[in-house]
């Protein structure tokens, strides 16, 4: 049954409100899920280390307070559901959530990654209604994550070759997740969400450069050079290595297809990369930093 945002009366005089915990609730997809639920009148609890109560994946004593009074959860693991060991933590959280009374779990997972599929299985096994939202490379990585700095510096160096990727907009991911969190017909489904077109990273960076009206180029690099460049910028070595491993795993052509999921679930087309690039450019996020051009990445 669809969840309603209305008050639910339990055992006489006590009123409780069905609430959704949105993990990574200040991140690329989570903050959009928070807005989408709030716009529909669903009470939301933001899952974040800075929220009250705080939620920290690395401190499981924070999980139970965050789950109190919650009946549904958007599960976006940090740093990544595809990183080694993620499934153990995601499974422990999902089991606790169900023990705390959560009846609906919506997991964000990476398309084509083995550990992310183990996360999916762990959520499926937890005993609640579940929906998996699988996504490709999130478009907003270019403007709301570390790639923004590379775009501003003018060289986006990544170990991803020239494979086609159906870049997936965080707005589409969030809208599909909100539909699954609130509506009927999503339980036991895997929603494989992609954008409407395949683009190589060179294509994507070209569209960003055109929208930002400046020179920005894509530079294919080896995983080793990528890791060295990230750690040189202060990124922890473990994270950099795991990210390089994930990129090597999924950018081999296995994700080079588009799906009709957004159209099917939402009744509208997915957001095109060019529309994203135009709107992001207008915010100034890709404007060149003042001063001399930065050293090319790596």
49 binds ligand NAP (CB under 6 A): yes
138 binds ligand NAP (CB under 6 A): yes
Which residue in 38, 56, 69, 148 binds ligand NAP (CB under 6 A)? 56
**Interface with ligand NAP (CB under 6 A), residue from 34, 67, 70, 80:** 80
Cβ distance to ligand NAP smaller for residue 76 or 156: 76
Between 77 and 286, whose beta carbon lies closer to ligand NAP? 77
Closest of 252, 139, 145 to residue 203, by C-alpha: 139
Of 21, 24, 150, 151, the residue at the interface with ligand NAP (CB under 6 A) is: 24
Site map 227..246 versus ligand NAP, x via CB under 6 A: --------------------
Q: Does 250 contact ligand NAP by CB under 6 A?
A: no
By beta-carbon proximity to ligand NAP, the closer residue of 214 and 223 is 223
Name the site residues for ligand NAP (rule: CB under 6 A).
24-30, 48-50, 55-58, 76-78, 80-82, 108, 110, 116, 135, 137-138, 141
């Amino acid at each position: 049954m669809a969840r309603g945002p209305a008050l639910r009366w339990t055992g006489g005089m006590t009123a409780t409100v069905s609430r959704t915990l949105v993990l990574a609730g200040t991140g690329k997809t989570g903050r959009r899920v928070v807005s989408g639920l709030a716009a529909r009148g669903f009470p939301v609890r933001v899952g974040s280390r800075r929220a009250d109560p705080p939620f920290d994946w690395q401190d499981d004593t924070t999980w139970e307070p965050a789950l109190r009074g919650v009946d549904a959860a958007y599960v976006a693991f940090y740093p990544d559901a595809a990183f080694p060991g993620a499934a153990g933590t995601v499974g422990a959280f999902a089991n606790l959530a169900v023990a705390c009374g959560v009846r609906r779990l919506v997991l964000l997972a990476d398309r084509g990654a083995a550990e992310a599929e183990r996360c999916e299985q762990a959520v499926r096994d937890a005993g609640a209604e579940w929906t998996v939202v699988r996504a490709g490379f999130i478009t907003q990585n270019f403007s709301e994550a570390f790639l923004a700095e590379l775009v501003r510096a003018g060289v986006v160096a990544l170990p991803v070759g020239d494979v086609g990727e159906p870049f997936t907009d965080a707005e589409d991911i969030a809208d599909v997740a909100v539909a699954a969190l609130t509506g009927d017909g999503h339980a036991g489904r895997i929603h494989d969400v992609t954008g409407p077109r395949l683009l190589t990273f060179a294509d994507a960076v070209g569209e960003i450069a055109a929208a930002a009206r400046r020179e920005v180029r894509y530079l294919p690099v080896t995983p080793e050079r990528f890791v060295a460049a990230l750690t040189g910028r202060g990124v922890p070595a473990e994270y950099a290595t795991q990210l390089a491993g994930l990129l090597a795993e999924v950018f081999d052509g296995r994700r080079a297809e588009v799906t009709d999921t957004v159209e099917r679930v939402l009744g509208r087309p997915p957001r095109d990369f060019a529309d994203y690039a135009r709107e992001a450019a207008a915010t100034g996020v890709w404007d060149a930093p003042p001063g001399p051009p930065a050293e090319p990445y790596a």
